[in-house]
């Protein structure tokens, strides 16, 4: 028996999902990234996503052109929508879309910056934060490590993010030593 997929059909719900993804990542997303993220398991219809992007632009999200690519970033109303309404989205869709957003954003950021490390965190409903750390293998450019750590609040998440980013090679070396890789 196949488990039915949960889809988000309503344009207003897709608007909330867009704001939630941008807010949770703490980074703007391009139109192409949003298309790729929401097409995972056909969670959102492409045409409904396009309508939602038109609806959020200038109201919930700021649309800008960066090197010929349309980028969306939350405005204050978009942040409020993400905080207040994000929990109304089905949990399974939120979790899958956030994981896919981290994967897509990290992949693209590493391509652009030539970096091998990405650190993001998401604020959970109880005020705690889950910090996600991705380390790529510098020779193969494939994911080497991904770890998540849950901490009490955003302040602690920021401390972890800054410590890891201050010396990413030392952190990668520590993991190599710890895991014997």
Q: What is the CATH number of domain 8-108?
A: 1.10.10
The answer to whether 31 and 21 are in contact (CB under 8 A) is no
Q: Give residues with Cβ within 8 angstroms of 65, minimum separation 6.
A: 71
Domain residue spans of the chain: 8-108, 115-181
pTM for the full predicted model: 0.68
Q: Cα angle at 69 between 25 and 66, to 5 degrees?
A: 80
- From first to last of its 181 residues, the chain has per-residue pLDDT tens of 444 467 899 999 999 999 999 988 878 899 999 999 998 888 899 999 999 999 999 999 999 888 788 999 999 999 999 989 988 998 888 888 888 888 888 778 767 655 677 777 777 778 888 888 888 777 776 778 888 889 998 889 888 888 888 888 888 888 888 887 6
């Amino acid at each position: 028996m196949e488990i039915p997929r949960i889809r988000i059909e309503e344009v207003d719900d897709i608007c909330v999902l867009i704001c939630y993804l941008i807010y949770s990542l703490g980074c703007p997303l391009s139109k192409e990234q949003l298309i790729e993220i929401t097409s995972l398991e056909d969670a959102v219809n492409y045409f409904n996503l396009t309508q939602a992007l038109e609806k959020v632009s200038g109201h919930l999200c700021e649309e800008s052109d960066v090197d010929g690519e349309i980028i969306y970033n939350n405005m204050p109303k978009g942040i409020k929508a993400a905080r207040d309404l994000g929990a109304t989205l089905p949990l399974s869709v939120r979790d899958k879309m956030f994981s896919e957003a981290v994967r897509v954003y990290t992949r693209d950021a590493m391509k652009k910056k030539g970096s091998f490390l990405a650190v993001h965190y998401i604020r959970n409903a109880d005020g705690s934060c889950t910090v996600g750390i991705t380390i790529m293998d510098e020779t193969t450019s494939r994911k080497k490590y991904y770890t998540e750590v849950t901490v009490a609040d955003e302040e602690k998440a920021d401390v972890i993010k800054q410590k890891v980013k201050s010396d990413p090679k030392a952190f990668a070396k520590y993991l190599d030593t710890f895991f014997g890789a």
